[in-house]
């Protein structure tokens, strides 16, 4: 019996930012193939930055769009556009960090030939050579494209594809450090195995929800949750397994084990990209799934999310206190911040959505710039990340130490920084939704996080510098530009947050 196949209505306009970023990544692959080696780096930088700027312009032009396109698979609404715009700007900053060459004597932070064995004779020669590797630009753009698709997916299968498109390039990029290559490869392997494990859970959750609702469209899943005759066990198991995959990507306890290792081992510009952009994309997906798909069965998942949020805040804050490596400390601080952002997700209200988006914007810029400062403090073997080496840094370079201290204050949530406004936004939204207990835990753990941030500030300004300590390198315009951008956003969102808060509030609408 032949049946008519209805072809879906395709409108390419609303997904222009995605098309631009993926198109730019493909152009980057062509540049890799056809442009001569010595001009390749400049060409890749120009292509990547122009592409991301164009994507940002497209997002601005699309402002106010509120529709489902591609057979309801992609939702273009306020949240999608807000997060896509943030990701485009943060992507430019991350590309700037990756492009930095003047810090390391022999070039950038990325190894030029990843296949050469660490410690071999070729590797020693490679460490002295000044050739650069440019495949990382298309990889970063593919990953950013996946990140921009992830919060826009209104279909769980598409969300899985976006998850893999954002993850696979990141697994590779984690293993590309020029210095300390064994650590970097180890980070890549741990990230890959655990990431593949968690995406299998995500996928099994998708399959069970397909059995439950007969469709993986979030709108139809939400419609099915209203029917009484459906199989409740499939729904609950599906929600739980889906949550495992999403909470792994945001780095929530008990799925945080990869975060410190991967953040420490990856090349620092890649860590900055991961810390800022992956978190934004993953929270976007989490918000869409729980607000659009499971909004009407909140009693089934809120207790679980409460437990995860409390555990994440407490474990992240407490373990960060004991860290001795600055990148690891920032990683555990990222775990604690995941807990704070989850408080906004659990609020399950437009205010919670707006607060979460504002938090993601503020946190993304601050953490990216903080990792950028970490790349500046170096000794002969590369970056000096042990905290003991940072003692007395304020005497050697008041500017760099002062900037880093400011970012730490912003992460701690001191007033007049973006971190304070962000925490205020999510906590008030949570109190208004009746999650006061969660906010109490959040405020107490914020105080714990303030302790270890302040400890680093004290170490930098009130200790004697070690005699053979690291030096502070002077960056070129690339890193300086990224740090200045992060600093500007952190200050402006702390002093004059209202325009951006209003924007987040206007954007806090989800199409369903």
Partner 1 sequence: MNESYYLILAALLFTIGGAGVLVRRNAILVFMSVELMLNSVNLTLVTFSRINGTLEGQVMAFFVMVVAAAEVVVGLAIIMSIFRSRRSASVDDVNLLKY
* Closer of 161 and 484 to partner 1 (Cβ): 161
Q: The tokens of 13 are what?
A: 């306009």
Structure tokens at 69: 């396109």
User: Which range touches partner 1 (CB under 8 A), out of 190-198, 385-393, 462-470, 500-508?
Assistant: 190-198
Neighbouring-strand partners of residue 21? none
Kindly state the smallest distance separating residue 198's Cβ from partner 1, in Å.
Answer: 10
Question: Applying CB under 8 A, does 203 fall inside the site for partner 1?
Answer: yes
Site string for partner 1, 135-174 (x = CB under 8 A): ----------------------x--xx--x---x--xx--
Eight-state DSSP code of residue 276: I
Among 117, 227, 228, 399, binds partner 1 (CB under 8 A): 117
Nearer to partner 1, 203 or 426 (CB): 203
Closest CA to 109 of 254, 268, 231, 342: 268
**74: DSSP letter:** E
What angle do the packed helices 181-213 and 232-250 form, to 10 degrees?
160
Judge if the upstream peptide bond of residue 40 is cis by omega within 30 degrees of 0: no
Contact of 332 with 424, CB cutoff 8 Å = no
Nearer to partner 1, 237 or 459 (CB): 237
Residue 204 in contact with partner 1, rule: CB under 8 A? yes
Applying CB under 8 A, the span of 204-212, 415-423, 442-450, 451-459 interacting with partner 1 comes to 204-212
3-state helix, strand, coil in the chain (%, to 5): 75, 5, 20
Given the complex with partner 1, which of 264 and 268 has the nearer CB atom?
A: 264
302 vs 294: CA distance, rounded Å: 10
For residue 210, state whether it binds partner 1 (rule: CB under 8 A): yes
> What is the C-alpha to C-alpha distance for residues 429 and 408, in angstroms, rounded to an integer?
24
Determine, following the binding rule CB under 8 A, whether residue 118 of this chain makes contact with partner 1. yes
CB of 192 to partner 1, least distance (A): 5
Among 29, 50, 53, 183, binds partner 1 (CB under 8 A): 183
Size, binding site for partner 1 by CB under 8 A: 42
- Best CA proximity match to 211, nearest among 196, 228, 197, 224: 224
Per CB under 8 A, which region of 33-41, 113-121, 297-305, 466-474 contacts partner 1? 113-121
Tell me the C-alpha distance between 150 and 154, whole Å: 9
Among 40, 41, 181, 378, binds partner 1 (CB under 8 A): 181
Which residue(s) pair with 104 in the sheet? Answer: 107
Q: Is 188 in the site for partner 1 (CB under 8 A)?
A: yes
Sign of the Cα pseudo-torsion (422, 424, 430, 433, in order): negative
Say which DSSP state 291 is in. Answer: I
Using CB under 8 A, which of the segments 201-209, 334-342, 370-378, 448-456 binds partner 1?
201-209
119 binds partner 1, rule: CB under 8 A: yes
Please report, as residue ranges, which positions from 259 to 278 form the binding site for partner 1 (by CB under 8 A). 260-261, 264-265
Q: How far apart are CA 104 and CA 52, in angstroms?
A: 26
Name the site residues for partner 1 (rule: CB under 8 A).
Answer: 114-115, 117-119, 157, 160-161, 164, 168, 171-172, 175, 181-183, 185-190, 192-193, 196-197, 200, 203-204, 206-208, 210-211, 214-216, 260-261, 264-265, 322
């Amino acid at each position: 019996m032949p049946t008519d196949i209805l072809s879906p209505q395709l409108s390419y306009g609303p997904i222009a930012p995605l098309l631009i970023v993926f198109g730019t990544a493909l152009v980057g692959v062509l540049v890799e193939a056809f442009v001569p080696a010595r001009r390749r780096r400049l060409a890749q930088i120009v292509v990547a930055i122009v592409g991301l700027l164009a994507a940002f312009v497209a997002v601005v032009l699309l402002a106010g769009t509120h529709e489902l396109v591609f057979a309801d698979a992609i939702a273009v609404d306020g949240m999608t556009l807000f997060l896509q715009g943030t990701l485009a700007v943060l992507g430019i900053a991350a590309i700037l960090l990756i492009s930095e060459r003047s810090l390391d004597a022999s070039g950038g932070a990325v190894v030029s030939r990843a296949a050469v064995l660490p410690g071999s004779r070729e590797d020693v020669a490679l460490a002295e050579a000044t050739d650069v590797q440019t495949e990382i630009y298309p990889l970063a753009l593919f990953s950013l494209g996946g990140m921009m698709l992830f919060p826009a997916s209104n279909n769980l299968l598409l969300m899985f594809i976006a998850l893999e498109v954002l993850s696979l390039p990141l697994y590779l990029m984690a293993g590309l450090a020029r210095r300390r290559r064994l650590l970097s490869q180890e980070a890549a392997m741990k990230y890959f195995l655990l990431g593949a494990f968690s995406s299998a859970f995500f996928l099994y959750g998708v399959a069970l929800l397909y059995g439950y609702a007969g469709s993986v469209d979030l709108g139809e899943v939400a419609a099915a949750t209203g029917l009484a005759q459906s199989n409740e066990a499939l729904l609950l198991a599906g929600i739980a397994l889906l949550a495992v995959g999403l909470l792994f990507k945001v780095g929530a306890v008990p799925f945080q084990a990869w975060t410190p290792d991967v953040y420490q081992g990856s090349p620092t510009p890649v860590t900055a990209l991961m810390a800022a952009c992956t978190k934004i994309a993953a929270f976007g997906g989490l918000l869409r799934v729980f607000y659009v798909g499971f909004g009407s069965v909140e009693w089934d998942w809120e207790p679980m999310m409460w437990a995860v949020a409390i555990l994440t805040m407490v474990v992240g804050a407490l373990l960060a206190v004991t860290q001795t490596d600055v990148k690891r400390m920032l990683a555990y601080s990222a775990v604690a911040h995941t807990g704070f952002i989850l408080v906004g997700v659990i609020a399950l209200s437009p205010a919670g959505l707006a607060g979460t988006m504002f938090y993601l914007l503020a946190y993304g810029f601050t953490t990216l710039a903080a990792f950028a400062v970490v790349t500046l403090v170096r000794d002969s073997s590369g970056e000096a990340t042990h905290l003991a080496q940072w003692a007395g840094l304020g005497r050697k370079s008041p500017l760099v130490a002062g900037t880093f201290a400011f970012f730490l204050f912003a992460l701690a949530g001191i007033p007049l920084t973006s971190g304070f406004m962000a925490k205020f936004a999510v906590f008030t939204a949570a109190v208004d939704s009746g999650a006061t207990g969660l906010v109490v835990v959040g405020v107490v753990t914020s105080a714990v996080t303030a302790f270890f941030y302040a400890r680093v500030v004290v170490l930098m300004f009130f200790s004697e510098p070690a005699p053979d300590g690291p030096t502070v390198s002077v960056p070129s315009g690339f890193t300086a530009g990224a740090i200045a951008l992060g600093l500007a956003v952190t200050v402006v969102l702390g002093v004059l947050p209202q325009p951006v808060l209003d924007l987040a509030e206007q954007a806090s609408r989800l199409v369903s």
